[in-house]
């Protein structure tokens, strides 16, 4: 996507009656006596972008890691695409994860591999040999989508922080997952690139009808991508609604995010 052809982000109608693809029911998670999540519940519908707001250290990253099965909640149930993930064995979980994308807050690029190898890794892992011929095209396309087509042979260490974030995004999107979990996709980017990434998130949603869970502090980006906003506070879902609804909320805890 060249910056000139960016689609104007349009606020999609909130698909409240669409199929539910991800459910969190009464999730609790503690580390020792640090009770990070207490009774958190939320639903995600197909084709919907939900943004989770919350102060630093409030447990947003812990929440998404529970969703993808990297952390196991102490209590509560997580249902992804109709399957209760606590009942899945390793192989079933791997199959499910092929339909999920996860952007790490820390990017988590493989630093011993080039950018191309980073992108190829999830493809090779999920595919059988018969689709190898599409590989080069998909890598090229994914890199163009994030505006970094000429970095394919570089190592992550040779890229800037923002470029690494965009490569991590390309790696998340390359398998065209049905549900995408973005942990701070625009943090550390300049305002222009941040807006491009927000537009890309919208574009992916509209093109493939994906559902996305987006953690963000960047209110500019939240306004662009969110169909619904949820506020994580005191370990629970403190408030939720559209961007406008929460911006008009009287509770100072909610209101403070929007000023």
Ligand X SMILES: Nc1ncnc2c1ncn2[C@@H]1O[C@H](COP(=O)(O)OP(=O)(O)OP(=O)(O)O)[C@@H](O)[C@H]1O
What is the binding site for Mg ion (CB under 5 A)? 61, 105
Decide: is 121 part of the binding site for other proteins (CB under 8 A).
yes
φ and ψ at 236, to 5 degrees?
-125, 175
Q: Minimal CA–CA distance to 139: which of 128, 129, 124?
A: 124
Instruction: Return the bridge partners of 180, or none.
Output: 101, 212
Q: 28 in helix, strand or coil?
A: strand
Decide: is 100 part of the binding site for other proteins (CB under 8 A).
yes
The dihedral region occupied by 81, where left means phi > 0, alpha psi between -120 and 50, and beta the remainder, is: left
Taking the C-alpha atoms of residue 44 and residue 198, their distance in angstroms, rounded to an integer, is: 19
Tokens 């595919």 appear where?
127
Decide: is 98 part of the binding site for other proteins (CB under 8 A).
yes
Decide: is 54 part of the binding site for ligand X (CB under 6 A).
yes
Interaxial angle between packed helices 135-145 and 161-173, expressed in degrees from 0 to 180 and rounded to the nearest 10: 130
Decide: is 31 part of the binding site for ligand X (CB under 6 A).
yes
Which of 70, 72, 82, 207 binds other proteins (CB under 8 A)? It is 70
What count of other Cβ atoms lies within 10 Å of the Cβ of residue 123? Answer: 18
Residue of minimal Cβ distance to Mg ion: 61
Which of 8, 34, 87, 259 binds ligand X (CB under 6 A)? It is 34
Taking the C-alpha atoms of residue 231 and residue 90, their distance in angstroms, rounded to an integer, is: 32
| Binding to other proteins, residues 46-65 (CB under 8 A) | 65
Are 189 and 111 contacting, i.e. CB atoms less than 8 angstroms apart?
no
Decide: is 114 part of the binding site for other proteins (CB under 8 A).
no
Which of 27, 47, 60, 96 binds ligand X (CB under 6 A)? It is 60
Decide: is 58 part of the binding site for ligand X (CB under 6 A).
yes
CB of 69 to Mg ion, least distance (A): 17
Which of 24, 37, 51, 68 binds other proteins (CB under 8 A)? It is 68
Q: How many chain residues are in contact with other proteins, going by CB under 8 A?
A: 22
Decide: is 176 part of the binding site for other proteins (CB under 8 A).
no
Residues binding other proteins (CB under 8 A): 65, 68-70, 90, 94-95, 97-98, 100, 102, 104, 106, 108-112, 121-122, 125-126
């Amino acid at each position: 996507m060249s910056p000139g052809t960016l689609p104007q982000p349009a606020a999609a109608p909130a698909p409240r009656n669409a199929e539910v693809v991800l459910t969190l029911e009464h999730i609790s998670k503690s580390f020792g006596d640090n009770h990070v999540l207490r009774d958190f519940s939320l639903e995600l519908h197909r084709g919907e972008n939900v943004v989770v707001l919350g102060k630093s250290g409030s447990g947003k990253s812990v929440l998404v890691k529970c969703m993808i099965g990297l952390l196991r909640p102490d209590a509560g149930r997580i249902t992804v695409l109709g399957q209760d993930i606590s009942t899945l064995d390793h192989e079933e979980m791997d199959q499910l994860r092929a339909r999920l994308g996860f952007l790490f807050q820390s990017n988590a690029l493989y630093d011993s591999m080039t950018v191309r190898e980073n992108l190829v890794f999830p493809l090779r892992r999920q595919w059988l040999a018969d689709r190898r011929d599409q590989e080069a095209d998909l890598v090229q396309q994914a890199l163009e989508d994030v505006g970094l087509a000429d970095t394919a042979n570089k190592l992550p260490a040779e890229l800037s922080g923002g470029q690494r974030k965009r490569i991590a995004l390309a790696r998340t999107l390359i398998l065209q997952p049905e549900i995408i979990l973005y942990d701070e996709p625009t943090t550390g980017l300049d305002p222009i690139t941040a807006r491009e990434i927000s537009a890309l998130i919208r574009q992916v949603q509209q093109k493939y009808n994906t559902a996305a869970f987006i953690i963000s502090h960047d209110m500019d980006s939240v306004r662009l991508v969110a169909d619904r906003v949820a506020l994580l506070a005191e370990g629970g879902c403190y408030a939720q609604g559209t961007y406008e609804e929460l911006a008009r909320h009287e509770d100072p805890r909610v209101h403070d995010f929007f000023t």
